[in-house]
Chains A and B, each alone.
Chain A
């Protein structure tokens, strides 16, 4: 893509050429654009697509994806956005054959997508966000397409899958139907390597045999989405690697990083402001007034057992770092508690390393980021002996009920929270909990445990709610800070866990020493 700084360079797409280039309103964004575009256009396109993605995100947090409510909310949201272009293809019927406006929209869809790739390829967190929203956007557009249109799209992109034969279907019918309950005898099945439909494998929604997944036609979209996702994910990695070249263009660099920052909201990675304000003695008190439930749970478990397992230490330790516990205080905090059950030697050998590691003082010296809600909710599902995770997601409804009641919560609120959990609205449930425990009516929805903490502190010190809560009040106009509120059900590229082995050969009863983290100099 060439960037030209002359303003308002006229649109040079001619319809004839464009039909070839954009034969379908849906795209897999395989080839980058080759047009010349002006800087002004560059920024407009980008901002417009961001608004769209932001809308996709907001709706995704509130509604179950793919549900009727979701689709309606999305359409409504796009209408209010009133953006020309990209979204037209969702809100209006397509003209056949496409006229010039339609083609310009496709072009904008294409180019704006590629611009955001540049802005959002630079970090794991950004990529994760971008992929999640683009995938949801693609999905919501895909399901609106007619059968014919989908067929055409698949053909155009060399994705023509063939259903299995009637005979093969007959031979496996009972297994096929048991694996995919929504299928019937007229369902067609597509046989693909299981690696192409990981989402369906993961949730056991397909029949697997000898490495092949038998995907019922109503789940065909999963295959397409998976192609879309993996292409995008790979492309972002490539873009990221080639970015340094681009950055020599000093007109673009500030704009790109501005774009990603402006729309991703608070970045807890580089937040230094709070560091050092919190001492060990304050933690007990704060845990009662300002910790979200997930951290309360970890704190109590830690005080009770004088121990936390790996992911618990990570989730809690990084959170504490985020609220301003300095490294020295952190060491003091963990040490005191651990030593109630462990000898100092062992602590120093096996645990203090991880803590220093979290603060970027050991190993690769990366400063680790506190986990966001989405990360807590979707990754590292707790197992036996664990206390991490999100209580709204990972606790038995019965047990959660008991716990909330023991905090003297009234039945109405408990019921409301439980029903939010049951419909997978974990963050909304957490927001409700916030309002209840603060006796407030902020309608604040957390997307980060540290944000929860800060909101609570603001609130208690009498400040008005900080700008964050406005995330949900459709203020997607220019220059308004839009904060990321990620959705729980996105399937995202997960952060690779730090190297570690876990094996039974520990030096003690403890089952999860990350000895592998202890990079002892080579001999």
Chain B
């Protein structure tokens, strides 16, 4: 298994040319962003931005076709590529149109979930670091959001991407999603945000008494199914008194909070661990509920689970039509890892530490070269001969479904033309 140690960020300038020349999956990439040419200007009016070496940042790039895109990327070898909106005019011409007329019109609905936003509930790492103990947070995020976006909002074309370091992105590519107004994007993002409040708010999830909204109930079920494994086993979230106290703070009713604290303190030493403590908290809550004092503790257990596990969105990223987001298949300059596609149906087995780095891919490419020198057969694309193959296959699957949507549209359009 390749680790980040194999990658040295100073080698990036040497590796990028090869990566962009032979490995970047331009074909599928263009197919995606062109959306079958419905409408024709979809690709040409799309903003790309490049970050070059030494943080030189160029906005408003746009290209007429795949060829030009390839040529420019290979020429500039960007450290990072961002994808922006589809504008009213070609972004590269933006200086020639009046500022007011140059407007962002459409873009995928995007989500950005970043592990740094979980620092108050991670006991293993902080900031940009991630490990196997906290990665399950991203698994929760994918499962919960994927379900809600599909079942509640009816979106079908979700592209999930590992962001190369400490988070994931989701691109919702349905036509309806691309056309959403800023207000609608805000509403979707708010609907999906349950954990709220800044550092001055300790209790960040507040549920109403009574039935929960179906979307919340379903999220709770998803979390419940692996909460013990994650919070108790991996995070040991009640393992010492400091951690315990943090959790107790989330109980709103003072009397009940005290009762729980007392009961926990009285437990034998051998039972002073996360597992027994959690079982006790759940049991105490149930007991009080059945005693009829429902009000005191109606959602304590659920609120704790949600606060510790529910996906935390960066809402600002989702709301703006004009917001740029890092492109899939970029290389993260710090880790060297490629921003690969993730199959949401197989998220459990996705391992961020097994994502190929650029140096690994370049090695693999050289290796396959040595073995294949004399095979004169039709060459498969280079990226399909390396560890990029898996992610590209996931991408293919996504594209196949997406393609069906514009095939239908194209037939419609040509039918219309044939009418006279």
Contacts and interface: CB of A to CB of B under 8 A. Distances in A.
Contact of A515 (B55, B154, B319): B55
B184 A198 contact: yes
A210 B80 CA distance: 35
Nearest to A194: B153
Given A202-B190, A204-B191, A395-B200, A507 B317 contact: no
Contacts of A519: 59
B229 interface: no
Nearest to A226: B183
Contacts of B155: 211
Interface in A338-385: 349, 364, 380-385
A505 B333 contact: yes
Nearest to A493: B183
B290 interface: no
B188 A201 contact: yes
A520 interface: yes
Contacts of B114: 504, 511
A396 B203 contact: yes
Interface string A385-402: 111110100111011100
Contacts, number: 180
Interface in A176-217: 177-179, 181, 194-195, 198-199, 201-204, 207-212
A419 interface: no
Given A178-B217, A396-B201, A519-B59, A501 B323 contact: yes
Interface in A469-501: 493-494, 496-497, 499-501
B182 A494 contact: yes
A296 to B, nearest CB: 12
A394 B322 contact: no
Contact of B184 (A195, A494, A509): A195
A516 interface: yes
Contact of B55 (A175, A178, A380, A507): A507
A150 B117 CA distance: 47
A500 B321 CA distance: 11
Interface string B199-212: 11111000010111
B214 A207 contact: yes
Given A178-B212, A387-B199, A504-B163, A209 B152 contact: yes
A92 B202 CA distance: 49
A399 B201 contact: yes
Contacts of A199: 187
Interface in B321-344: 322-326, 332-334
Nearest to B60: A522
A178 B215 CA distance: 10
Contacts of A349: 55
A224 to B, nearest CB: 17
A384 B198 contact: yes
B213 interface: yes
B316 A497 contact: yes
A266 interface: no
A202 B186 contact: yes
B57 interface: yes
B213 A179 contact: yes
Given A394-B197, A515-B55, A519-B59, A505 B182 contact: no
A516 B202 contact: no
B198 A386 contact: yes
Contact of B211 (A177, A195, A381, A499): A177
Nearest to A181: B210
B199 A394 contact: no
A502 B184 CA distance: 20
B154 A212 contact: yes
Given A516-B57, A520-B57, A394 B198 contact: yes
Contact of B200 (A207, A391, A496, A520): A391
A294 to B, nearest CB: 11
A500 B263 CA distance: 50
A211 B176 contact: yes
B202 A396 contact: yes
Contacts of B57: 515-516, 518, 520
Given A209-B151, A381-B196, A516-B59, A178 B323 contact: no
B99 interface: yes
How large, as a class, is the contact surface on chain B? 35 or more
B390 interface: no
Given A384-B120, A519-B59, A522-B58, A497 B319 contact: yes
B201 A499 contact: no
A523 B72 CA distance: 12
A493 B80 CA distance: 33
B214 A175 contact: yes
A409 B220 CA distance: 41
A210 B213 CA distance: 16
B180 interface: yes
A504 B215 contact: no
Contact of A198 (B49, B183, B323): B183
B214 A523 contact: no
Nearest to B252: A398
Contact of B166 (A202, A212, A501, A504): A504
A382 B198 contact: yes
Nearest to A507: B55
Contact of A520 (B58, B198, B202): B58
A250 interface: no
Nearest to B166: A504
B183 A516 contact: no
Contact of A503 (B112, B213, B319): B112
Contacts of A381: 196-197, 315
A383 B152 contact: no
Nearest to A176: B214
B198 A385 contact: yes
Interface of B: 49, 51, 55-60, 80, 82, 99, 112, 114, 116-120, 127-128, 151-155, 163-167, 176, 180-184, 186-188, 190-191, 196-203, 208, 210-217, 312, 314-317, 319-320, 322-326, 332-334
Given A209-B151, A210-B152, A504-B116, 14 more contacts: A181-B210, A198-B187, A204-B216, A210-B151, A211-B153, A382-B199, A385-B116, A385-B199, A399-B200, A399-B201, A494-B183, A496-B322, A501-B82, A504-B164
13 contacts: A204-B216, A207-B214, A381-B197, A386-B199, A496-B322, A497-B323, A500-B316, A501-B324, A502-B314, A515-B51, A516-B59, A522-B59, A523-B58
Closest 8 CB pairs of A and B: A211-B154, A382-B198, A178-B211, A210-B154, A198-B187, A501-B324, A386-B198, A208-B152
